[in-house]
């Protein structure tokens, strides 16, 4: 008999598969303590994004889910050091896109690149954030050194926004203008480029010294071009700022009289939530095999103002239509909030919610993969938790519920 020791291929596969129950045991990583939390972060702080760049672990694979009841508060995070720019001699201007009064993940990526550009300047340079509307959360950790916020310009007003940016250009003379290359921000960046006579760099996803790498050809080809003043940036263009707190100090600014816009915002149009494509929904209530009272689930989605989603099991059982299926074999979603009710978290489903900002898990199994993925988990019977959640929403004034959503 040979004395050669052969490796077990199955054990090697388990060591690579983080979702396997024996992964932590065989990979030599610390097990969970009595509280259900990992004693030590077993995974690297950064993950590789689709573009190949290192970025923050937004899927929360590193830290595991925080298992708590609805009333349990998160533990306080250590206070980050303050990044100060005392007397800026130059500015990097960034247009800040808001979604429901909150800075989007795309905007945080752009601010990360803005701070890198500011740090590379020979003179003291501050990142100047420009936004219109009301903020519902602080942005002290997003990377804004100086904040120019204009109230009273709600809705879609591209001409007023362009005039505001032109005034910022005259008064602050930014070294660079940065815009997210998506939606209204992309349109505004192109409008400003025409006004300033600048040729913008669009589809930029990487900055390397004096060069930019931009994506073209329907996203299948990269081109290199010189660094310019006006940049329209894709998601994952840089890592979000996480090492410091920033002042976000308001600047003195007197806006000129806004021009009479030829484009008028008619306000929001009432839309049936069932008609919203899952890929565009910002708030999703999704059901899985753990949901038994479907009438209650539909009432909860209506009351919360959430689009309905489902796991593949719920769709295959005929409880939800096929176009509501979330996952790699259904629809890839990028919602701001995703509530998973009775979903264990198969690999395909976790892939489909990879770009979701906040995941809330309602489940009876504290060790399921959805709980590990979630930022907040409520452990218990789904019907009881949904009933309690609906009671809390009904007890609040309608305006507060709308603002929270």
Whichever domain contains 212, its CATH number is: 3.40.50.620
What would the two tokens of residue 301 be?
């989605």
DSSP 3-state of 86: coil
Task: Judge if 307 and 242 occupy the same domain.
Answer: no
Task: Judge if 177 and 296 occupy the same domain.
Answer: no
Consecutive sets of 10 residues in the chain, 405 residues long: mean pLDDT of each? 66 70 62 45 45 49 44 54 88 89 88 92 91 84 90 79 91 94 92 92 90 83 90 90 88 74 63 78 91 92 91 92 91 90 92 89 91 91 92 75 50
Listed residues 196, 227, 250: the one ending a domain: 250
Listed residues 250, 275, 291: the one ending a domain: 250
Residues shown for the chain: 405
First-to-final CA distance of the chain = 68
User: What integer pLDDT is reported at residue 45 of this predicted model?
Assistant: 46
User: What integer pLDDT is reported at residue 44 of this predicted model?
Assistant: 42
What would the two tokens of residue 397 be?
């004034």
User: What integer pLDDT is reported at residue 32 of this predicted model?
Assistant: 45
In a domain, 207, yes or no: yes
3-state SS string for 213-264: EEEECCCCEEEEEECCCEEEECCCCCCCCCCCEECCEECCCCCCCCCCCCCC
Task: Judge if 329 and 213 occupy the same domain.
Answer: no
The pairs formed by 371-374 with CB atoms below 8 angstroms and a separation of 24 or more are 371/65, 371/67, 371/345, 372/60, 372/61, 372/64, 372/65, 372/345, 373/59, 373/60, 373/61, 373/65, 373/345, 374/60, 374/65, 374/66, 374/340
Task: Judge if 228 and 99 occupy the same domain.
Answer: yes
In a domain, 32, yes or no: no
Residue 341 — φ and ψ, nearest 5°? -105, 115
In a domain, 186, yes or no: yes
Tell me how far apart the alpha carbons of residues 78 and 81 are, in angstroms, rounded to a whole number.
Answer: 10
Task: Judge if 296 and 344 occupy the same domain.
Answer: yes
> Cβ(43)–Cβ(60) under 8 Å?
no
Task: Judge if 212 and 101 occupy the same domain.
Answer: yes
Tell me how far apart the alpha carbons of residues 158 and 161 are, in angstroms, rounded to a whole number.
Answer: 5
Domain span holding position 347 = 283-395
Looking up residue 374, the CATH number of its domain turns out to be 3.40.50.1220
């Amino acid at each position: 008999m040979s004395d050669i020791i052969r490796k077990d291929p199955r054990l090697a596969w388990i060591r690579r598969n983080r979702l396997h129950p024996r992964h932590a045991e065989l990979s030599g990583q610390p097990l969970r303590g009595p509280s259900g939390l990992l004693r030590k972060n077993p995974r690297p702080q950064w993950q590789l994004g689709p573009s190949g760049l290192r970025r923050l672990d937004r899927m929360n694979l590193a830290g595991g889910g925080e298992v708590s009841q609805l009333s349990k508060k998160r533990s306080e995070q250590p206070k980050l050091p303050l990044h100060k720019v005392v007397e800026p001699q130059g500015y990097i201007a960034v247009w800040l896109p808001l979604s429901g009064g909150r800075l989007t993940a795309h905007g945080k990526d752009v601010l990360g690149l803005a701070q890198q550009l500011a740090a590379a300047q020979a003179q003291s340079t501050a990142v100047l954030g420009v936004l219109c509307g009301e903020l519902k959360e602080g942005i002290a950790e997003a990377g804004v050194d100086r904040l120019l916020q204009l109230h009273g310009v709600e809705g879609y007003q591209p001409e007023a926004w362009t005039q505001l940016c032109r005034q910022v250009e005259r008064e602050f003379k930014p070294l660079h203008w940065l815009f997210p290359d998506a939606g209204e921000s992309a349109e505004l960046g192109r409008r400003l480029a025409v006004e300033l006579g600048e040729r913008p760099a669009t589809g930029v996803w990487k900055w390397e010294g004096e060069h930019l790498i931009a994506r073209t050809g329907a996203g299948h080809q990269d081109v290199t071009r010189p660094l310019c003043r006006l940049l329209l940036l894709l998601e994952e263009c840089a890592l979000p700022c996480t090492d410091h707190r920033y002042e976000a100090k308001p600047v003195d600014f007197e806006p000129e009289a806004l021009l009479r816009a030829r484009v008028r915002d008619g306000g929001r149009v009432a839309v049936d939530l069932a008609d919203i494509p899952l890929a565009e929904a910002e708030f999703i209530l999704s059901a899985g095999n753990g949901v038994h009272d479907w009438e209650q689930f539909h009432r909860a989605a209506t009351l919360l103002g959430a689009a309905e989603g489902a796991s593949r099991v719920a769709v295959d059982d005929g409880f939800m239509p096929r176009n509501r299926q979330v996952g790699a074999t259904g629809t890839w979603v990028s919602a701001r909030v995703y509530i998973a009710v009775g979903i264990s978290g198969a690999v395909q489903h976790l892939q489909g919610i990879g770009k979701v900002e906040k995941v809330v898990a309602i489940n009876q199994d504290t060790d399921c993969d959805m709980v590990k993925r979630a930022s907040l988990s409520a452990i218990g019977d789904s019907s009881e938790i949904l009933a309690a959640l609906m009671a809390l929403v009904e007890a609040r004034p309608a305006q507060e519920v709308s603002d929270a959503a």
